[in-house]
Amino acid sequence: MMGIEWNDIHASPERKRQFFGVVYFFVLTFVTGIIGLFLPIYWILNGNWYLLLAYAAWYYYDRKSPKRGAYRQSIVAIVRRNPMVKWFAEYFPVRIHKTADLPPDRNYLIGSHPHGIIGLGINALFLSDKTGLDESFPGIRFNVCTLPVNFYSMLRREFVLASGYIDSSRESIEYVLRDSGEKGRAVVIVVGGAEEALEAHPGKHILTLKNRRGFVREAILTGSNLVPAYSFGENDAYDQMENPPGSKLRKFQEFMKHYTTMSPPVISGRGFFNRTFGSLPKRSRIDVVFGAPIEVQMNDNPTKEEIAALHEVYLGNLTQLFETNKEKFGVPKETKLQFV
């Protein structure tokens, strides 16, 4: 009707559950963040300052959690059993594919590519215990890095921590992989970050990785094996307005990223009541392929040359992972992975 494809009210119960899972993720990701920012103002205006004082006391007590491995594993396990997150993963669907084991007697730093608009594949895998992740890598405890800004908003902060997310700072990564003294730990970092989100166009495979070596340095400092992972289909979940480098839109987006650490891509997916446009992701199968671990020796003082050499090895392994699997997941044979 009117050029708009409306939702099918006669869809199967399974499809409705999956759609509800996406709405649930959207609310937790965006709506709770907005509520958490304005709730303190509401409390003050309504004379409920004591509630804000109580939360301030809790925040002070809990302030180190983002840099200390998030909340206890028992709490994370409860959150990951939430069936709505499983429905979210099944919506696309998101599927996991491993090419090698990750023995639990080592620690790992996993580079996830591409970032996409909001990292749908990685979020779906690690937010639920029903996506095959635990079965694929038994004995491994995962933490996903996210921007520190995600720990500023009350309510959203607590949910993110209860889901096992940690601060993306060096201190946080080194605590999990080295200072905790535990084995079988894995930290996932979406290396391209907000800048790479601006390259997330359907059919394109452009990674902001050429000059990003900090994660390689962290792997050497902690003695953690490097693991490349690629999410085929990640960039197809949203359409993004064309923003080539040098365009006015791109300059504005880069300006915003510089001052807020977050880029504002102009996107369109599907809506709550239609499948033609909106802020929700489209159904686009996402296949997350984990490569073989790259052996890393701990070094408390690595040289720039050592970091650069390991970075080149990582780029080579990631390229090989892409080339080996691209045609399996609908990427044309002539398509090449680009590093910028």
Q: How many other CB atoms are found less than 10 A from the CB of residue 156?
A: 21
Compute the distance between CA of residue 16 and CA of residue 238 in angstroms, rounded to an integer. Answer: 20
Average the pLDDT over 134-138 and give the result. Answer: 95
- Confidence check: pLDDT of 4 > 90: no
Task: Please tell me the predicted confidence (pLDDT) of residue 207.
Answer: 98
**3 in any annotated domain:** no
Confirm if 46 and 40 have CB atoms less than 8 A apart: no
Residue 38 lies in a domain: yes
Domain range for 109 is: 13-339
Burial of residue 35 (CB within 10 Å: 0-12, 13-18, 19+) is: middle
Mean pLDDT score, 56-69: 96
pLDDT in tens, 6-44: 888 889 999 999 999 999 999 888 888 889 989 999 999
CA angle 305, 310, 316 (to 5 degrees): 130
* Domains identified in the chain, total number: 1
- Alpha carbon 48 to its chain centroid, in Å, reads 36
Q: Which residues, in sequence order, are bridge partners of residue 225?
A: 108
Q: What letter would DSSP give residue 3?
A: T
Chain centroid to CA 120 = 7
Beta pairing class for 239-240 and 267-268: antiparallel
Query: Which pairing describes strands 286-290 and 225-232: parallel, antiparallel, or unpaired?
Result: antiparallel
- pLDDT for the residue 28: 85
Residue 2 domain flag: no
User: What per-residue confidence (pLDDT) applies to 2?
Assistant: 66
pTM: 0.93
Cis, bond preceding 93 (omega within 30 deg of 0): yes
Say if residues 274 and 5 touch (Cβ distance below 8 Å): yes
Question: Residue 214: what pLDDT?
Answer: 96
Q: Going by C-beta distance under 8 Å and a sequence separation of 6 or more, which residues neighbour residue 275?
A: 5, 6, 7, 282
- For 321, half-sphere exposure in the C-beta direction (CA atoms, 13 angstrom radius) is 27
Q: Locate 109 and state its tokens.
A: 């730093």
Residue 185 lies in a domain: yes
Which tens digit of pLDDT belongs to each residue from 230-269?
Answer: 999 999 999 999 999 999 999 999 999 888 888 889 999 9
